[in-house]
Amino acid sequence: MKHSDNEKRLNQRHSGLEQVRKSSDFHEFSPFEEDEGLIRVAYYSSLVSDDKVTRYLLPALREHRDRLGQPEELMDLLPFAEVMIANTEKEVVAKLMEGYVLLRMDSAEDLYVLANLNNAQTGQRQSNDTENEFSVMGPKVGFVENLDTNLHLLRQKLATPALIFETLTIGSHSNTRVVIAYLEDVTNPEIVDTMRQRLKSIDYEVLYDTSQLEEIIADQSNTMFPLFISTERVDRVTFALTSGQVAVFTDGSPYVMAAPANFLGFFVSPEDYCLPWILGSFHRIIRLLSVVFSVFATPIYVAIMTFHYEILPETILGPLIQSRIHVPFLPVVEVIFLEITIDLLREAGARLPSKIGQTLGIVGGIVIGEASVQAALTSTILLIIVALSALASFTTPIVKMANTIRLLRFPFILLAALWGGLGITIGFLMLMGHLMRLKSLGVPYLAPLYPFRTDNLADSAIRASYQYLNRRSLFLRPLTTYRYHPQSRKEDDYAE
């Protein structure tokens, strides 16, 4: 990115220690009133634990007052794990922003001693339940807004030295720490390189959440589909890493991004692996079917009611006609009215506290539904279809994908209203064309379906038994193919 000279000068001025002193939460004082030049302590009181300063730092300084002459000696005296010496002001400012305490001596003006006394845990929420990706079976530990806690959670789960964290700093104003995590013996280095390059090339102001990164570094930003999995579940990130993906953590975000993602991966729930494989497969198939139902149910209703009454047997056609005989609107108007009502309910429910949200669901669902049928605004059968397709759209485990699927039906409804079945077909072809072109970190989005790879089908639409799940997904080009060697299978099954 190019900056004008003026901007550059402004940046330089803003990065010095002078700039730091302007803020009222920046404290600078000397612990010894009579000899102010001996040592000066400076820190952001909003970032540093006052408790640590008064209980450990100041007593230590007072105790060894006579040995405070040299910075090197001071380093040994301080009872903290992270103590360092910096030479430039720029470095000092960066560390101050992370919650370090600056110690300066008049005797050594160019050397800055820094000690880490930050209070990272303050202001963090205590509960780390997985709120948005709930599961009945399996662990319920989720990530929180603190990066170190998140890394701790992951390291605890993957206790191997192969797990590598790489830290980058992104955001001209937020200077947010972003960590790339990967398994060195599994993940293809090309994927890590691509991710690192894309993250490094970002120029952005304040990074609030990992989800922002997703759109910034996406291969194709003009798409409704999420190109990376964003999750708050520790087990899902662990699974992603072991299958050869990289994970990206952002400080201050409970969401972790796993890449490269494929379309079917969004319908995998960690719960599938906690249930018997037959049940797991059943749930997965239900989820995929519910996507189809959720996208196509109402458009097909519109198409049939507007154009193709012939394709229904008359025993179904009769009740359908009877249910909407008093409705004055075109089928498409009726459908859009109800679909938007459902989306209103969902949006309102998401913005309200959970208890009011529940009440709203009852009020909206029962009262509005019942009343709009009574008032002949919609037909009862359509109400059932819309409610079912809304329900179906909530089965997708990843929130971002669920939202996409909910939105996807609107263009289809319009196409169905214009051209009936032909319109749905045209829309479907365009959707497939779009999906086939999508790539996530250079890996085809529809893999293993397109390009078709039989090796990876055991863990795609179905979840096969564990003895067949020991191969990693080959479209991720992992460094090692096998995850484990089940005893029930013979040795020659593993021939590469």
The distance of closest approach from Cβ of residue 309 to other proteins in the complex, given in angstroms and rounded to an integer, is: 5
**Nearest-CA neighbor of 89 among 40, 172, 17, 22?**
17
**Nearest-CA neighbor of 184 among 227, 249, 244, 252?**
244
Q: Which is nearer to other proteins, 5 or 310 (CB)?
A: 310
Q: Is 66 in the site for other proteins (CB under 8 A)?
A: no
The distance of closest approach from Cβ of residue 436 to other proteins in the complex, given in angstroms and rounded to an integer, is: 21
CB atoms within 10 A of CB 367: 10
CB atoms within 10 A of CB 80: 16
Is the torsion defined by CA of 225, 226, 232, 233 positive or negative?
positive
CA within 13 Å, CB half, 158: 26
Q: Which is nearer to other proteins, 174 or 306 (CB)?
A: 306
The distance of closest approach from Cβ of residue 319 to other proteins in the complex, given in angstroms and rounded to an integer, is: 9
The distance of closest approach from Cβ of residue 274 to other proteins in the complex, given in angstroms and rounded to an integer, is: 46
Calpha distance 55→482 (Å, rounded): 53
Q: Which is nearer to other proteins, 231 or 379 (CB)?
A: 379
Contacting range for other proteins; rule: CB under 8 A; set: 8-16, 275-283, 417-425, 474-482: 417-425
Report how far apart, in Å, the C-alpha atoms of 50 and of each of 118, 303, 430 are.
9, 68, 60
The distance of closest approach from Cβ of residue 429 to other proteins in the complex, given in angstroms and rounded to an integer, is: 15
* Among 29, 208, 309, 450, contact with other proteins (rule: CB under 8 A): 309
Contacting range for other proteins; rule: CB under 8 A; set: 14-22, 207-215, 315-323, 394-402: 315-323
* Among 92, 291, 304, 390, contact with other proteins (rule: CB under 8 A): 304
Q: Which is nearer to other proteins, 161 or 313 (CB)?
A: 313
Report how far apart, in Å, the C-alpha atoms of 185 and of each of 151, 180, 189, 229, 478 are.
19, 15, 9, 22, 9
The distance of closest approach from Cβ of residue 325 to other proteins in the complex, given in angstroms and rounded to an integer, is: 5
Contacting range for other proteins; rule: CB under 8 A; set: 37-45, 86-94, 104-112, 301-309: 301-309
87 by Cβ neighbours in 10 Å (0-12 / 13-18 / 19+) ranks as exposed
Calpha distance 318→296 (Å, rounded): 22
Residue numbers 421-480 binding other proteins by CB under 8 A: 422
Contacting range for other proteins; rule: CB under 8 A; set: 118-126, 144-152, 176-184, 316-324: 316-324
* Among 66, 109, 310, 491, contact with other proteins (rule: CB under 8 A): 310
254 by Cβ neighbours in 10 Å (0-12 / 13-18 / 19+) ranks as buried
108-116 and 176-183 beta bridge pairing: unpaired
The distance of closest approach from Cβ of residue 314 to other proteins in the complex, given in angstroms and rounded to an integer, is: 6
**Nearest-CA neighbor of 460 among 475, 472, 451, 448?**
448
- Helix, strand, coil content of the chain in percent (nearest 5): 50, 15, 35
The distance of closest approach from Cβ of residue 374 to other proteins in the complex, given in angstroms and rounded to an integer, is: 18
Q: Which is nearer to other proteins, 93 or 302 (CB)?
A: 302
Give me the torsion for CA of 133, 136, 140, 142, rounded to 10°: 0
Q: Which is nearer to other proteins, 80 or 307 (CB)?
A: 307
Residue numbers 317-376 binding other proteins by CB under 8 A: 317-318, 320-322, 324-325, 327, 330-331
The distance of closest approach from Cβ of residue 328 to other proteins in the complex, given in angstroms and rounded to an integer, is: 10
Please list, in sequence order, all residues whose beta carbon lies within 8 angstroms of the beta carbon of residue 106, skipping any fewer than 6 positions away: 37, 38
Contacting range for other proteins; rule: CB under 8 A; set: 59-67, 127-135, 311-319, 340-348: 311-319
Q: Which is nearer to other proteins, 330 or 371 (CB)?
A: 330
Calpha distance 41→39 (Å, rounded): 7
Question: How many residues sit in the footprint of other proteins (CB under 8 A)?
Answer: 21
Site residues for other proteins per CB under 8 A: 304-307, 309-310, 314, 317-318, 320-322, 324-325, 327, 330-331, 418-420, 422
